[in-house]
Structure 1
Amino acid sequence: MTGGILSIVCPKPVPDAKLRLYLLHHAGGSHTVFRPWLALLPESWEVRLVIAPGRAKASYPAARDITTLSDAFARHLDERRPTPYAMFGHSMGGLVAFDTALALQAGGMPQPEWVGVSGHPGPFHSITRTRPPLYGLPSADLRAELIALDGLPDRVLRDKWLWQRVEPLVRADLEAAETWHPTRHGSLLTRPVSAFCGDRDPVAGITDAANWSQHTNEFLGVRHFPGGHFYFQDDPGPLVRSIVADVSTVLGRSRPHALP
């Protein structure tokens, strides 16, 4: 399945699904980070894994701006009504999810029931704070900064062969994330939003994640877990249970503006 420049994988189609949950990965990563989640999510939910361009077997090169990704994702979603859907994104994926929801809102298209954003300090806040943008650093400096920031899984950064393979992709993804500003459609989403983080994440800790509260009229709160930027890598269970709880709360409401 494709969404323009995006690839979208549906590991297990669910006829008459109660919800479609779209999962969007981090910069330099891929949909495989979410594979362990499949057995933990409700059987009545259909999971769709969104793959940014530039990965193995992709037909398109990596995008260097978030709006290219979010516009492609919005077009894909607008073609697939009326099943209710939600989206969760980690780090770069959270920005794509949020910007997509803003684009859908501005275009009067069916909006997600819920948006989950993880591992990012929110609109108008940089993942590098006072540092120079990561995407323009020399190779050795970029690798060192990502190690310090816990910005990619450790096995990728410590293995020189793996690093050489992913570095161009990482740079493109980081450029997209570090240059994004939600100015096209404003920065206030009228849908429920939850923020997630690791309590020791140097990129987006608990206080940083709270910035998302300023960009929705229905903030469900910050859900924090032990760990760093990839706090869910070893055990996704607590995060998945928290996502299911928040989405179920939203779906359980009686809303007059339900999807047609």
Structure 2
Amino acid sequence: MQLLETALVRPRQVPDARRTLVCLGFCGGGAGVYLRWADTMPPGAELAAVCYPGREGRFLEDFAADWDALAEDALAVVTAVEGPYVLFGHSMGGWMAFDVASRIEERGGRAPEALVVSAANAPSFGLTVRDMFPAQQETDEQLMDWMRAFGLLPEHVLGDPDLAEMALELMRADIRVRDTFYHREGAKVSTPLQILSGADDDIIDPHVADHWRKLSTGDFRHDVLPGGHFYTPDIWSGLPSRITALHQD
């Protein structure tokens, strides 16, 4: 219970919610990047975002040492969520969502109603050059430019050297974890899988749907959306409207 108080952020509780959208963060992004979606959730659905160790409400904790440590931490949070839920992850968070969902199924846990993976190549190829962005060798200035370009640095952070330094530390911690990623042999999911990708996202393999389909034995769909890695601003701000499972009775 204590873990949920700091590791699961609910911006707006919905009494008698039919399901919860549980979001896992991407590289350099905390739980806060998802909170504005609370205004776009369909009736009967509640938004929750997982806070990884070392940031936001868990800033006193050490960052996860590697991929397995972060996956087990996220697994503990997700499995403590009450009621039906849909698991979502964007970019690195998409790999995390898949890994967590597959571990839940392997251990006989309560699987999500659906798994939604956004802007992520199939993990079965492991960590490829295509996926290693931003990279460890990039300078602080390059990382700041990357975060600024994708809207990860609010104005109050840009104007505060201490906050900017913390953002860089968080980004580098996530890059280190991402670079220890590996696909567990045989890992698959049976829960319905929805893949989202940007029409202009050059990070995503052209055959991404075929590759992901091989990792799921359940229902599958692939939606191509306007824009690049974070779609267009309008699409990103209303992305829950594109998640099929949230609109089912």
Q: SS where residue 120 of structure 1 aligns?
A: coil
Aligned equivalents of 2:4, 2:38: Cα separation in 1: 24
Once the 2 structures are TM-superposed, how far is the Cα of residue 165 of structure 1 from its aligned partner?
3.7
Q: Indicate which of 147, 153, 166 corresponds to 2:150.
A: 153
Q: Could you give the per-residue CA deviations for residues 50-91 of structure 1, whole angstroms, max 9, x where no partner exists? A: 11122245231222423222222322333344x111111111
What residue is the counterpart of 1:180 in the other structure? 181
Unaligned runs of 5+ in 1: 253-260
What residue is the counterpart of 1:191 in the other structure? 191
8 A Cα contact 1:21 1:87, kept in partner = yes
Over the aligned positions, Cα root-mean-square deviation in angstroms equals 3.3
What residue is the counterpart of 1:19 in the other structure? 19
Q: Could you give the per-residue CA deviations for residues 189-217 of structure 1, whole angstroms, max 9, x where no partner exists? A: 11111111111112225533542111111
Aligned equivalents of 2:119, 2:184: Cα separation in 1: 21
Aligned equivalents of 2:231, 2:225: Cα separation in 1: 7
What residue is the counterpart of 2:76 in the other structure? 75
Aligned equivalents of 2:76, 2:36: Cα separation in 1: 28
Aligned equivalents of 1:28, 1:135: Cα separation in 2: 12
Aligned equivalents of 2:131, 2:78: Cα separation in 1: 36
What residue is the counterpart of 2:200 in the other structure? 200
Q: Does 1:231 align with 2:228?
A: no
Once the 2 structures are TM-superposed, how far is the Cα of residue 163 of structure 1 from its aligned partner?
5.7
Q: Could you give the per-residue CA deviations for residues 114-166 of structure 1, whole angstroms, max 9, x where no partner exists? A: 0101111121335652687854314269639x84xx9961574xx69576442
Cα 1:80/1:138, change in 2 over 3 Å: closer
Once the 2 structures are TM-superposed, how far is the Cα of residue 181 of structure 1 from its aligned partner?
1.7
Which range moves more in the overlay, 67-76 or 27-36? 67-76
TM-score, scaled to structure 2: 0.81
What residue is the counterpart of 1:108 in the other structure? 108
Cα 1:121/1:142, change in 2 over 3 Å: farther
* Equivalent runs, 1:85-124 vs 2, <5 Å: 85-124=85-124
What residue is the counterpart of 1:170 in the other structure? 171
TM-score, scaled to structure 1: 0.78
Which range moves more in the overlay, 69-78 or 84-93? 69-78
How many residue pairs get aligned? The number is 244
Share of identical aligned residues, percent? 26
8 A Cα contact 2:115 2:192, kept in partner = yes
Aligned equivalents of 2:53, 2:16: Cα separation in 1: 29
Q: Could you give the per-residue CA deviations for residues 212-231 of structure 1, whole angstroms, max 9, x where no partner exists? A: 11111124222111111111
Aligned equivalents of 1:154, 1:236: Cα separation in 2: 11
8 A Cα contact 1:89 1:97, kept in partner = yes
Aligned equivalents of 2:79, 2:177: Cα separation in 1: 23
Cα 1:4/1:246, change in 2 over 3 Å: closer
